Structure 1
């Protein structure tokens, strides 16, 4: 008896802290979700304030440590080439390869190894078996023409202080069919730098200059050359079809493969590429007080070059050559009223904090905030799109750090004096960047690869911008657990009873519904390949046919596998919603590994929709104001979360709403597909099934 009394008096064991916290969060999932979503939105709005100034991480780069020696003699060589190209253009000698012949002759005259690179460019088309394939990159073009032939011109300078194991690549794209003045200036600038580097003694890395024939797209010509550079094909040029080699157009029968005694059809290589720079001369910007240098850095699937490369270019351009550096920004956000209001509030809070403690100096003006927000939105958008913003993206596919920068003069460059001054400053900038990269003993690795720009000299690292995504995604597993466990709370005392509905295996119906919608989404994502085979069909007709076939296939799956509403007596909407949230969490988690920006924007659209959605019949309960508010939130989230609507909104905010229509859905989908963007898979394998399942929950009886 005494022993039994002692046992009865023993206190009940307390749950472990982690179990206690998990039980508390699950039982208060609604409050937890609201707090996390608000905090996530605030974290994203604070990104311009949390941005840090850029800095050089790799000491070996030493930008500006040596004075450039690019001189007027080099400018004269550029001017002569520009004049020769212009005269050739006026004489109408552009049907063959007169421009290429002129460039390769100049390369050979400075003692470089030269060759022609012949490639085929194919038209845009859907192809399900080439998705994520490097082979398809060379087939991507920016025109709607059929398979065509292009001709690149390549020169190699062997470094006097190098061992041939590393190289720096310079790329100058130009339209060989119609060479404009800015194209001629780009070629002149490229040749003057190439000629200058052939005479210097400090080179430790080989120099490759690619004059890229971009008549079928800048990316296509560079990608084709890189593919052949990294995947050599052993065959004789004599065996190539005449339509591909252009022998009839550009080579005489006596010396069709020779130039100064050297074979120009043999593909030659240098060492491993340390870095690449794509540069070109853009249109004049009259209203700006300074010459402009615009930097493009985004590559496929959100890849970015090492930040040190951008920092070197920015430092030398601003502090040595006096350029004004630009990066992309969403113009529609700069003058946005609500964004300026947020900026004013943050500016007031910053001033208040500074008055309380002078050390709290985190204020930012409303104008700078709007500029930073528009810039980081542009950076996030282009990363999420997963499409390169220039031919530098082809290098990132081979893990080579590369950027594109475009020079724009404040004056029209018809005047020779303006041309000379412009080429001199541009040449000295490129020489300075090459000197810095030449100093490296290893690949870029010190600085960041995951970042977003808020200004040319400010950035947000992954450790900062991932906080917003983490806060938005954190409620998903908590809400899923709360829905699935069917809590019976009698007031929080540290323990709760949870009943798991495994006994009757009712959850299998919900799992089957989710898998069926996922199967339908997979079929719908492959359908454009077959629609694209129909000749003479417009984008609007393709979109409508795509929608009609998708709805029909979904109806067929309902007939074969059963509609989720046929089991309405067994499947509860809470269980279905729990499985939807679990599926979305897995999809967003995987996407965050491939392209974090896509997952970030997806979280802004999907997470609120998943958390808010509930059956319409539930809106008939409770107070009138709460019912109306809940119903409006559900409908708004469902409309905005509709994948085509989301794509059109993003396209409209970035490029304007003038060309936005039904056919734009097909154009955006085709654009993502042919560029092998993982965003296409995310939209149609994660976002679309999530939206359809939310509609199922909304209409649940």
Structure 2
């Protein structure tokens, strides 16, 4: 009776599905790779129009209050700053004195924030830690310090618990026309906000001294803003530099009755931040606005902040809004053909059913793909694209607004009109953020832009990644089953009725093959960790060019690999390696694919864009890797094609080769230098980008293991 009940039991559907996929792993992996790439190419078509999720923002609901009088005061500031350029000495400190005076005349609390020059340097223990943890600060000296000018307006209807930040990068040593105009825009808005009665959040205007870097000056102020400062740190000491003494003389001048505070002044929690910049380049069509939003490790501000800027710029001020694009893709022939194909499919779909809204015009598809590729690229690099990235490290939503006038700033005669237009845009954004009762949270934080008004949410773009990596565990399980079946068959053929000591020893050795493969994979990934740490010590070598440092890095990496193999090797593993069978490289490939799957999934949690681009290189390389000796012996057309694909993917999958190949595709081969790879990697580790860890501890070990499988002497 029990036997009949057991025979009637059926395998669970999920188990049967797994068995089906494992038995057809080759077909399943091919389908997943093609579908994953196709899903990625379909993202511009699946993009949705942006919308305001938070109703309290109400952009454009109130009439603008910025008047020509505010613009006239800003123009007077621009004139005074321009006149300072003709003075032989003291232009830097005099310009800061002038800005502080104008702030003080509006009734703002003005402070001068002193900071030291910041040097980004790689430190292996500072990834995913506090902001600026990898920074090295120079000793205090007159040549290395910078000074930010900060003005704070207290909200008449606020309680001091929230604030909105306006940032204008400004080189106090040499004032550019674009920087002067950005100061004029911020001052006109600051002047208006000092008089309104509806303000419920404090306004902070940070004039960031950008002579040592725009990001560093903002990051230094944010660090002191969120960290208690003692013993006068962050303020000017008149005894340190003689030029700094002039700042304190501002309080003694008769032209101002306001106080310049000695201590570091703070407002409330930052609700949002806007970095205002005016570019030196002119736009032939009309005034335009470029939005930069990427921060460290692919972090993005809440989409609602971009949406209100886009809405007010387009529908209220008539500006042409732009986001970054991969311009080289706009002229790509294959991309234009693909766009025309999708457009034709969309027309056929609409002819069958008007409700099937598939496909976009070919030109829109190409432009959307170029924007999507740029969004993926800058998020994958993990390096901030502007000073706004410093705010995102403190979980403050911030973007950089680069405004390009129709006429070059050096020849502008309509600067008052330009100031009024740009100032009203900033006023509208401040007014919308001022309406918020809580932080941005309604809209998306994980998204990719295909245009200023279209986006792809995380629920859509994760499908492409999930499909692409779905084949990895299935192929790993299939290799495990095949290797075990081959191993068991060989045991049956070699076994004899009287079990001898040699046969028992052979069975014992075979049972350790998986452990040996796991050990090899572990050693290679440990080598990847060592390779990732080497640049920290290579940077200590003085007076070395990037090319020399790259060469030293390569030599030390090869030496460390040989050393690790010598340390972790043993006669037992060597004895097993001498008996080479088909199941041994299958074990190694299965473990390699499993490690790649785990690494890609972990990276997708930290930075999806890096995981997606890495999967496009790693997944095909891991799936197609097979000993070249077996394919050459077979001699068929299919095996020869697989051999060619394996060699090509092995070359492209090497991180330096992939870097130079992409550089040639997007920038041309005229400016190629071997040391460029070191410079690029150095920028990644200097900014504590998780992409650097991915390359060193996931991508490079997987490539090395695949190369080992290709040249396996089976």
1:56: how far off?
Answer: 0.6
**Measured at CA, do residues 443 and 129 of structure 1 come closer, stay the same or move farther in structure 2, by a change above 3 Å?**
same
Does the Cα contact within 8 Å between 1:451 and 1:460 map onto a contact in 2?
yes
Deviations 1:517-537 (A, max 9, x none): 111111111111111111111
Does the Cα contact within 8 Å between 2:122 and 2:134 map onto a contact in 1?
no
2:587 maps to what in 1?
575
Matches within 5 A, 1:109-258: 109-136=105-132, 139=135, 148-236=144-232, 248=244, 250-251=246-247
1:542 maps to what in 2?
549
**Measured at CA, do residues 92 and 565 of structure 1 come closer, stay the same or move farther in structure 2, by a change above 3 Å?**
farther
Is the partner of 1:123 in helix, strand or coil? strand
1:126: how far off?
Answer: 2.5
1:466 maps to what in 2?
462
**Measured at CA, do residues 158 and 653 of structure 1 come closer, stay the same or move farther in structure 2, by a change above 3 Å?**
farther
Residues 1:616 and 2:613 are matched in the alignment = no
2:267 maps to what in 1?
270
**Structure 2 Cα separation of the partners of residues 396 and 531 of structure 1:** 31
Q: 1:519 aligns with which of 502, 522, 526?
A: 526
Q: 1:300 aligns with which of 290, 293, 296?
A: 296
Deviations 1:85-130 (A, max 9, x none): 1110121344541111111111000000010011112234332233
1:280 maps to what in 2?
277
Residues 1:678 and 2:678 are matched in the alignment = no
**Structure 2 Cα separation of the partners of residues 77 and 549 of structure 1:** 61
Q: Which runs of 5+ in 2 are unaligned?
A: 487-506
**Structure 1 Cα separation of the partners of residues 557 and 483 of structure 2:** 38
**Structure 2 Cα separation of the partners of residues 127 and 146 of structure 1:** 27
**Measured at CA, do residues 238 and 525 of structure 1 come closer, stay the same or move farther in structure 2, by a change above 3 Å?**
closer
**Structure 2 Cα separation of the partners of residues 695 and 452 of structure 1:** 34
1:659 maps to what in 2?
671
Does the Cα contact within 8 Å between 1:140 and 1:675 map onto a contact in 2?
no
1:134: how far off?
Answer: 2.6
Does the Cα contact within 8 Å between 1:138 and 1:220 map onto a contact in 2?
no
Residues 1:341 and 2:341 are matched in the alignment = no
Does the Cα contact within 8 Å between 2:166 and 2:203 map onto a contact in 1?
yes
1:150: how far off?
Answer: 0.8
Does the Cα contact within 8 Å between 1:501 and 1:507 map onto a contact in 2?
no
Does the Cα contact within 8 Å between 1:117 and 1:265 map onto a contact in 2?
no
2:536 maps to what in 1?
529
**Structure 1 Cα separation of the partners of residues 303 and 471 of structure 2:** 33
1:140: how far off?
Answer: 8.0
Is the partner of 2:521 in helix, strand or coil? helix
**Structure 2 Cα separation of the partners of residues 489 and 532 of structure 1:** 51
1:687 maps to what in 2?
699
**Structure 2 Cα separation of the partners of residues 295 and 502 of structure 1:** 62
**Measured at CA, do residues 238 and 172 of structure 1 come closer, stay the same or move farther in structure 2, by a change above 3 Å?**
closer
Deviations 1:272-291 (A, max 9, x none): 1000000111123242x221
**Structure 2 Cα separation of the partners of residues 657 and 209 of structure 1:** 44
Is the partner of 2:443 in helix, strand or coil? coil
Residues 1:438 and 2:434 are matched in the alignment = yes
Residues 1:555 and 2:562 are matched in the alignment = yes
Q: 1:426 aligns with which of 422, 428, 437?
A: 422
Does the Cα contact within 8 Å between 2:235 and 2:263 map onto a contact in 1?
no
Does the Cα contact within 8 Å between 2:59 and 2:312 map onto a contact in 1?
yes
**Structure 2 Cα separation of the partners of residues 485 and 168 of structure 1:** 60
* Aligned Cα root-mean-square deviation (Å): 2.6
1:495 maps to what in 2?
none
1:594: how far off?
Answer: 0.6
**Structure 1 Cα separation of the partners of residues 588 and 6 of structure 2:** 42
Does the Cα contact within 8 Å between 1:140 and 1:219 map onto a contact in 2?
no
Is the partner of 1:134 in helix, strand or coil? coil
Deviations 1:130-161 (A, max 9, x none): 333335368389xxx99821100000000011
Is the partner of 2:85 in helix, strand or coil? helix
Q: 2:48 aligns with which of 52, 55, 62?
A: 52
Does the Cα contact within 8 Å between 1:140 and 1:220 map onto a contact in 2?
no
Deviations 1:284-322 (A, max 9, x none): 3242x2211000000110100000000000000001001
Is the partner of 2:459 in helix, strand or coil? helix
**Measured at CA, do residues 82 and 9 of structure 1 come closer, stay the same or move farther in structure 2, by a change above 3 Å?**
closer
**Structure 1 Cα separation of the partners of residues 267 and 319 of structure 2:** 32
Is the partner of 1:486 in helix, strand or coil? helix
Is the partner of 1:605 in helix, strand or coil? helix
Is the partner of 1:406 in helix, strand or coil? strand
Residues 1:398 and 2:394 are matched in the alignment = yes
Does the Cα contact within 8 Å between 1:130 and 1:136 map onto a contact in 2?
no
Count of matched residue positions in the alignment of Structure 1 and Structure 2: 684
Does the Cα contact within 8 Å between 2:483 and 2:587 map onto a contact in 1?
no
Q: 1:29 aligns with which of 2, 25, 34?
A: 25
**Measured at CA, do residues 578 and 80 of structure 1 come closer, stay the same or move farther in structure 2, by a change above 3 Å?**
same
**Structure 1 Cα separation of the partners of residues 187 and 450 of structure 2:** 34
Matches within 5 A, 1:300-379: 300-379=296-375
Does the Cα contact within 8 Å between 2:163 and 2:267 map onto a contact in 1?
yes
